[in-house]
């Protein structure tokens, strides 16, 4: 596993709609692994490995949650608009990068939040609002307006690090998926399927990239590679332990956006069992969603499911995933792609 590539992917800034840097890294890695490589009108990166069999679309999204600059005040402080599902309780006292004409570091604080710096008991509670937060660039307004424009993307300033067998990084959602997809193509042996490996854009704002990519590619079957929330940390009751780190790739059979095609799930499960690839079943109904949600309702419908990498602290600047699970994910994907010409036939239930 080329962990350096995963770290480079995670560290690159790529808020929805501004995925350029991530796309460059992914394109470089995908290049030698595919027969065709292109970028579609919305920015999706599409690699094609030719085959004669069914058309299999694999999607992992390039974008990450983040912010855009919405206002520069009289003193040069920035206000932000959230992009994607922010967890507002985790962004105070974090460092960010404004990716404008210059790459500027800043610190993210909450209005009035740090004035009681030395007070141990804060009376300031209740839900946080995005409007309460601002960025301090340590610069006077004149400099700020020279280098920063409204709309500039802002990302968390956190580098990927090792933690035991785990990786801790911003944007593991979904660079871990992009990485697993690339690794799967590296591991892939003989295959008959026509394989579309898509680095999709704008998943975090509603799977907009996957929607048009699926339309354009018209696949027979689709697999999203994404992260899913692990609930194996303090404070969860035992019956809530859905997806845990170290137990293998998660076969997501349902989430808030998709009910996976059951025949496809059975094929994939069978492959995992016969290859001895560790997996766990992940089923929730009320939270989360992946590119599968857009792909499975494309055109007249595409059998789809998600292979998920269990991840702690999702949508924070320190997401945590386990290498062995990422590995299991890429192995299972490679095995499925190799067998898709048999599996997909049984999985697809196209209406003629």
Q: How far is CA 116 from the centre of its chain?
A: 36
- Taking the least distance from each CB to other proteins, the nearer of 28 and 111 is 111
Name the catalytic one among 19, 183, 194, 203: 203
- Using rule CB under 8 A, residue 351 touches other proteins: no
Using CB under 8 A, which residues numbered 80 to 99 contact other proteins? 87, 89-95
Establish if 32 lies at the interface with other proteins (CB under 8 A).
no
Candidate residues 32, 41, 117, 300; the one interacting with other proteins per rule CB under 8 A: 117
Task: Report in angstroms how near the CB of residue 198 gets to other proteins at its nearest.
Answer: 30
- Contact pick of 113, 206, 270, 301 for other proteins (by CB under 8 A): 113
Distance CA(350)–CA(67), nearest Å, equals 40
Q: According to CB under 8 A, which one of 29, 63, 109, 179 is a site residue for other proteins?
A: 109
- Which CB atom, from 80 or from 292, has the smaller least distance to other proteins? 80
134 near other proteins, rule: CB under 8 A: yes
Query: Which is nearer to other proteins, 123 or 285 (by Cβ)?
Result: 123
* Closer residue to other proteins, CB minimum distance, 24 or 163: 163
Among 312, 330, 333, 335, binds other proteins (CB under 8 A): 312
Site string for other proteins, 163-192 (x = CB under 8 A): xxxx-x------------------------
Examine residue 318 and tell whether it contacts other proteins (CB under 8 A).
Answer: yes
Indicate if 203 belongs to the active site.
Answer: yes
Cα–Cα distance list, 311 to 29, 42, 125, 170, 333 (Å): 24, 28, 28, 11, 18
Site for other proteins in 184-243 (CB under 8 A): 231-236, 240
Closest approach of other proteins to the CB of residue 140, in Å = 8
Contact residues for other proteins (CB under 8 A)?
73, 75, 77, 87, 89-95, 104-107, 109-127, 134, 136-140, 143, 158, 161-166, 168, 231-236, 240, 312-313, 316-318, 320, 322
* Residues recognised as catalytic: 203
């Amino acid at each position: 596993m080329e962990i350096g590539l995963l770290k480079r992917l995670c560290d690159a800034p790529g808020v929805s709609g501004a995925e350029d840097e991530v796309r460059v890294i992914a394109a470089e890695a995908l290049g030698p692994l595919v027969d065709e490589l292109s970028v579609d009108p919305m920015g999706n990166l599409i690699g094609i490995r030719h085959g004669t069999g069914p058309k299999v679309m694999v999607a992992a999204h390039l974008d990450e949650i983040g912010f855009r600059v919405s206002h520069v005040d009289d003193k040069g402080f920035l206000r932000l608009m959230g992009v994607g599902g922010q967890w507002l309780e985790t962004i105070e006292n974090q460092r960010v990068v404004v990716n404008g004409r210059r790459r500027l570091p800043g610190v993210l604080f909450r209005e009035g939040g740090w004035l009681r710096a030395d007070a141990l008991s804060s009376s300031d509670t209740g839900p946080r609002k995005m409007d309460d937060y601002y960025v301090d660039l340590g610069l006077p307004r004149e400099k700020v307006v020279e280098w920063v424009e409204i709309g500039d993307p802002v990302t968390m300033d956190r580098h990927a690090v090792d933690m035991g067998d785990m990786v801790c990084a911003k944007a593991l959602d979904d660079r871990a998926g992009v990485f697993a997809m690339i690794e799967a193509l590296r591991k892939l042996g003989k295959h008959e399927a026509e394989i579309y490996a898509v680095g999709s854009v704008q998943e975090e704002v509603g799977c907009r990239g996957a929607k048009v990519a699926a339309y354009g590619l018209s696949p027979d079957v689709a697999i999203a590679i994404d992260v899913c929330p692990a609930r194996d940390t303090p404070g969860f009751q035992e019956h809530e332990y859905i997806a845990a780190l170290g137990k293998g790739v998660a076969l997501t059979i349902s989430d808030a956006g998709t009910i996976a095609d059951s025949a496809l799930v059975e094929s994939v499960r069978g492959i995992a069992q016969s290859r001895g690839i560790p997996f766990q079943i992940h089923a929730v109904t009320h939270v989360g969603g992946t590119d599968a949600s857009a792909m499975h309702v494309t055109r007249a419908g595409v059998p789809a499911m998600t292979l998920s990498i269990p991840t702690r602290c999702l949508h924070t600047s320190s997401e945590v995933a386990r290498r062995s699970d990422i590995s299991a994910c890429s192995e299972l994907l490679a095995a499925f792609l190799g067998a898709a010409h048999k599996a997909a036939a049984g999985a697809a239930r196209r209406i003629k």
